Amino acid sequence: MTDATTAQATPAEGSLLTTKDVTVTYDLTHEALHGTSLTFEKGQVTALIGPSGCGKSTFLRCLNLMNREIPKCSIGGEILYHGRDINTPKENLFELRKSIGMVFQQPTPFRKSIRENILFAPKKHGRVRTKAEEDELVETSLRQAALWDEVKDKLKQSAHALSGGQQQRLCIARTLAMKPDVVLFDEPCSALDPISTFAIEETIRDIASTGICEIIVTHNMEQATRVSDRTAFFYVGDMVETGTTQQIFRNPRDQRLIDYLTGRFG
Ligand SMILES: Nc1ncnc2c1ncn2[C@@H]1O[C@H](COP(=O)(O)OP(=O)(O)OP(=O)(O)O)[C@@H](O)[C@H]1O
Ligand SMILES: [Mg+2]
């Protein structure tokens, strides 16, 4: 364990989200994550980096208990959200995902209008009652995801008619409409062109400035340096080193991280 890892394993009092020695086992025998301890704070963007197959998505999916939906997958350790361990069988996933949202690699808008994409979950949870409340939520969510100006005149059109980059921003807006305090992103730009990528990166920074905690898996090292405050490096199921993004990129300590950053593998 490196010094940087140890420092992060001891969370500050009142941290938003902390994992303690989290393990994930697939198919009852394959331990894909060997005990990861990390802390995530309000308003902070953390990048998860590392070669393919090292457990980044596996770890990300622990944070909103999505791995629970994979048959024969078990999660060990503690996942403390507002100080409460959510890694228990009685955790209400429907409630949890109101507060911990997720954006995937491929944009996944519902086969509905732009407006209904935003309102779907808030309506289901009884968050909006009047047309005025709906209108306000649609506008603020789309503005937060920097999509309002492009779609304000076609809110009733199908979300599937939007470009890939716009669809991804709609998915972000849809997540924000539930007013989460954590948003997880798994390679959100890997299917997008550079201009759409830049728009999403700006959105990620803007969202952080509102106090939301964001965790983003990326293979793009420049993206990690542009959007994140902290970075954690994963290697074959271990979280090997973590620190500020500046420290990880300018002064990496672990040889595996140095090799990764210099392009020797991954
Ligand atoms: N649903 C699953 N069932 C069984 N094994 C899985 C499952 N998902 C991932 N794994 C295994 O867990 C390990 C970590 O995979 P994971 O998808 O977390 O890696 P990753 O770091 O996100 O990789 P990539 O950068 O390619 O997305 C791999 O060995 C993978 O084969
Ligand atoms: Mg992955």
Write out the chain's pLDDT in tens, 266 residues.
Answer: 334 443 444 555 669 999 999 999 999 899 999 999 999 999 999 999 999 999 999 999 999 999 999 999 999 999 999 999 999 999 999 899 999 999 999 999 999 999 999 999 999 999 999 999 999 999 999 999 999 999 999 999 999 999 999 999 999 999 999 999 999 999 999 988 999 899 999 999 999 999 999 999 999 999 999 999 999 999 999 999 999 999 999 999 999 999 999 987 65
The closest residue, in CA terms, to atom 8 on ligand 1 is: 58
**Which atom of ligand 1 lies nearest, measured to the CA of 30?**
5
The CA distance from 175 to 168, in Å, is 11
Supply the pTM of this predicted model.
0.93
Q: How many domains, in total, are found in the chain?
A: 1
CATH number at residue 234: 3.40.50.300
CA 13 to ligand 2 center in whole angstroms: 30
**Which atom of ligand 1 lies nearest, measured to the CA of 59?**
18
Is 120 part of a structural domain of the chain? no
Query: Residue 193 is part of which domain span?
Result: 17-111+180-261
Phi, psi of 240 (to 5 degrees): -85, -40
The closest residue, in CA terms, to atom 12 on ligand 1 is: 32
The closest residue, in CA terms, to atom 2 on ligand 1 is: 26
- Residues 6 or more apart whose Cβ sits within 8 Å of residue 126: none
The CA distance from 125 to 70, in Å, is 25
Bridge-partner residues for 150, per DSSP? Answer: none
Q: Which ligand minimizes its atom distance to the CA of 54? A: 1
Is 139 part of a structural domain of the chain? no
Which pair of tokens denotes residue 239? 């979280």
Contact 35, 22 (CB under 8 A): yes
**Which atom of ligand 1 lies nearest, measured to the CA of 27?**
4
